[in-house]
């Protein structure tokens, strides 16, 4: 097993997932479990806030 998989499995075990559950996770499930709040998709309200704060400038 590669070091990256070992690290991923240790992360999952530290959060209570069994090895069987870990290996049955789909990629979207794994990403949802491991994504940080900063990595979550931007909601419409957040986009609107950014557009208001940084409007496009036409030269």
Q: How far apart are CA 58 and CA 55, in angstroms?
A: 10
Contact 54, 46 (CB under 8 A): no
- Cβ atoms within 10 Å, residue 22: 17
Q: How far apart are CA 45 and CA 20, in angstroms?
A: 39
Residue 54: predicted pLDDT: 92
Q: Does the structure show a pLDDT above 80 at 46?
A: yes
pTM for the predicted model, two decimal places: 0.48
Model confidence over 18-43: pLDDT tens digits?
889 988 999 898 888 887 766 677 88
Residue 49: predicted pLDDT: 93
């Amino acid at each position: 097993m590669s070091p990256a998989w070992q690290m991923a499995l240790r992360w999952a075990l530290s959060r209570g997932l069994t090895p069987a559950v870990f290996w049955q996770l789909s990629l979207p499930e794994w990403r949802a479990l491991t994504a940080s709040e900063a990595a979550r998709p931007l909601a419409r309200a957040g986009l609107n806030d950014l557009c208001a704060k940084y409007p496009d400038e036409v030269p």
